[in-house]
């Protein structure tokens, strides 16, 4: 499903990308089974980080890996801030459409940067590449953005689907009508491949809470040597 561009393989030789494509999914406004799992995850995070500080969260291996990547672009890893909000400040995981909630839940459980797309809108081929600073796309807030040189990004035949620094596009966002979906997971240097695989399995299991009959079309970890 994914083509690995040579600039990505040479620039980020120890990085990886996770892909999870599923068919016959659903994207309701709410899902009782998912809400129960979300509440359990919130409780688990607060128990795990009870008595901990921001520095303890920053010291997690996954957070350090993303922090090192984001630092090059003078940015902060937003999942770290979201984890602090839920685990340390007792804020809830945002309530949004179910498929988007699964993405938030996976990010907070495993700390890995994830994007979700409507697979029927995505136009093959899909590739992972490194921005040269000329690529532009419309973000989720409907603003046009130029990618930063050196940032990893995923694109299809029509343009950018997401980048690490600026997130997913508006064109392929999931809607209430989404029935086939695609998760992509960026793993810069320092993220263990086995952890990435477990993350994909968790995302699959979250989707099955919403749509038990959903089918996995592809679940794979790609690396420069794969």
Across the range 71-93, mean pLDDT stands at 97
Q: pLDDT tens for residues 160-173?
A: 999 999 999 999 99
Of residues 226 and 21, more confidently modeled: 21
- Report the domain count for the chain: 1
Cα 92 from chain centroid (whole Å): 19
The CATH number covering residue 177 comes to 3.50.40.10
Structure tokens at 78: 């937003």
Across the range 65-76, mean pLDDT stands at 97
| Share above pLDDT 70 across residues of the chain, in percent, rounded to a whole number | 100
Please list, residue by residue across 7-41, b when 16 or more beta carbons sit within 10 angstroms of its beta carbon and e when fewer do. ebbeebeebbbbbbbbeebbbeeebeebeebbeeb
Domain encompassing residue 211: 2-222
Cis peptide bond N-terminal to 125, omega within 30: yes
Has residue 108 got a pLDDT over 80?
yes
pLDDT value of position 178? 98
Q: Rounded distance, CA 112 to CA 105, Å?
A: 10
pTM for the complete prediction? 0.96
pLDDT value of position 47? 98
Give yes or no for a contact between 225 and 17, defined as CB atoms under 8 angstroms apart.
no
Q: pLDDT tens for residues 20-39?
A: 999 999 999 999 999 999 99
Q: Which residues pair with 187 in a beta bridge?
A: 16
Helices (H), the chain: 6-11, 32-48, 54-58, 61-71, 78-83, 98-110, 193-210
Has residue 16 got a pLDDT over 90?
yes
Has residue 226 got a pLDDT over 80?
no
SS3 category, 87:
helix
């Amino acid at each position: 499903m994914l083509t690995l561009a040579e600039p990505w393989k040479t620039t980020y030789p120890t990085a990886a990308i996770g892909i999870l494509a599923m068919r016959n999914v659903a994207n309701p406004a709410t899902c009782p089974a998912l809400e129960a799992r979300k509440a359990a995850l919130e409780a688990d995070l607060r128990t795990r980080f009870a008595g901990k500080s921001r520095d303890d969260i920053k010291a997690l291996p996954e957070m350090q890996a993303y922090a090192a990547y984001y630092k090059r672009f003078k940015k902060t890893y937003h999942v770290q801030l979201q984890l602090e909000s839920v685990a340390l400040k007792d804020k809830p995981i945002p309530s949004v459409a179910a498929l988007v909630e699964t993405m938030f839940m996976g990010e907070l459980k495993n700390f890995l940067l994830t994007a979700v797309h409507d697979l029927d809108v995505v136009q093959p081929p899909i590739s992972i590449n490194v921005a040269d600073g000329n690529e532009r796309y419309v973000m989720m807030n409907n603003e046009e953005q130029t990618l930063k040189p050196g940032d990893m990004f995923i694109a299809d035949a029509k343009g950018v689907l997401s980048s690490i620094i600026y997130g997913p596009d508006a064109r392929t966002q999931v809607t209430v009508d989404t029935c086939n979906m695609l998760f992509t997971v960026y793993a810069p240097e320092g993220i263990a491949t086995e952890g990435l695989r477990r993350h994909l399995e968790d995302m699959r299991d979250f989707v099955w809470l919403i749509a038990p009959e959903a089918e996995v079309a592809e679940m794979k970890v790609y690396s420069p040597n794969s």
